[in-house]
């Protein structure tokens, strides 16, 4: 009886995208796991503890709100995103300082003009109104964490909720503040539109 032909061994299946890449939900989980090394990296770049905390919250908001898709090197990707956010903030601070210096040079008196004082009050009112529209517990947690300096673990213990619940409240508040900040920065950066009277001679 003739021997059976040897079975043809198929190629090993290629790893799936799930094995090679991490999607959005995996990136958010990895961000929590990499919190400590990311904080150290930002501190080494020159960020204060509060700045690093803000940047990681902003990074989480971006992961949650933007369609990023699978990422091949998730750890390197998170380091790069955190570093880019830090650089963006430093550039924004540089532009803001330059604007304030120009404004200071143009003003004859060091005291802000009534118009600028009004603009400042209006912007503060916008932020306050946006935060006031959030649930009372969210505002309370945000105030305790950002203004009173309470740790997230302490807040969770006092309120009888989980640490992840505190994180979710903070993320909601940070998302609101980030949206308002982006809108105000866009208004500042936008060139002034000429009015109907521009270019007309007084007669």
Query: Is 104 among the domain residues?
Result: no
- pLDDT confidence tier of residue 61, bands split at 50, 70 and 90: confident
Answer yes or no: is pLDDT of 172 > 90. Answer: no
Question: What tokens appear for 169 in the block?
Answer: 């409240």
Query: Is 198 among the domain residues?
Result: no
How many distinct structural domains can be found in the chain?
2
Q: Same structural domain for residues 90 and 24? A: yes
Q: What CATH number is given to the structural domain containing 43?
A: 1.10.1740
Q: Same structural domain for residues 76 and 122? A: no
Query: Is 47 among the domain residues?
Result: yes
**Contact between residue 170 and residue 134 where contact means Cβ atoms under 8 Å apart:** no
Across 92-115, average pLDDT: 65
pLDDT in tens, 23-57: 556 888 888 899 999 999 999 999 888 888 888 88
Q: Same structural domain for residues 87 and 124? A: no
CA–CA gap between residue 42 and residue 34 (Å, rounded): 12
Q: Facing residues of 71 across strands?
A: 22
Q: What CATH number is given to the structural domain containing 134?
A: 1.10.10.10
Q: Same structural domain for residues 133 and 180? A: yes
**Contact between residue 38 and residue 79 where contact means Cβ atoms under 8 Å apart:** yes
More confident residue, 91 or 68: 91
Q: Residue 42: which of 53, 33, 31 has the closest Cα?
A: 53
Among residues of the chain, what percentage have pLDDT more than 70? 67
Query: Is 199 among the domain residues?
Result: no
CA–CA gap between residue 104 and residue 113 (Å, rounded): 11
Query: Is 107 among the domain residues?
Result: no
Range of the domain at 88: 19-94
Q: Facing residues of 135 across strands?
A: none
Is this model's pTM higher than 0.95 or not? no
Neighbours of 83 (CB within 10 A): 15
Query: Is 87 among the domain residues?
Result: yes
CA–CA gap between residue 161 and residue 159 (Å, rounded): 6
Answer yes or no: is pLDDT of 160 > 80. Answer: yes
Answer yes or no: is pLDDT of 143 > 60. Answer: yes
């Amino acid at each position: 009886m003739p021997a059976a032909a040897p079975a043809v061994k198929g190629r090993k299946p290629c790893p799936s995208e799930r094995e090679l890449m991490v999607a959005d939900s995996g990136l958010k989980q990895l961000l929590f796991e990499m919190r400590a090394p990311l904080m150290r990296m930002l501190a080494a770049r020159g960020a204060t503890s509060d700045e690093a905390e803000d940047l990681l919250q902003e990074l989480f908001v971006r992961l949650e709100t933007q369609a990023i898709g699978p990422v091949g090197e998730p750890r390197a990707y998170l380091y790069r995103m955190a570093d880019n956010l830090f650089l963006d903030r430093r550039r924004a601070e540089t532009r803001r300082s330059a604007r304030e210096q120009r404004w200071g040079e143009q003003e004859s008196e060091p005291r802000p003009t009534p118009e600028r004082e009004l603009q400042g009050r209006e912007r503060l009112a916008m932020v306050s109104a946006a935060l006031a529209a959030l649930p009372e517990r969210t505002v309370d947690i945000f105030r305790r964490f950002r203004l009173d300096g309470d740790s997230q673990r302490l807040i969770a213990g006092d309120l009888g909720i989980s640490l992840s619940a505190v994180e979710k409240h903070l993320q909601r508040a940070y998302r609101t503040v980030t949206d308002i900040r982006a809108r105000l920065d866009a208004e500042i950066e936008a060139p002034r539109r000429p009015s109907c009277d521009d270019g007309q001679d007084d007669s």
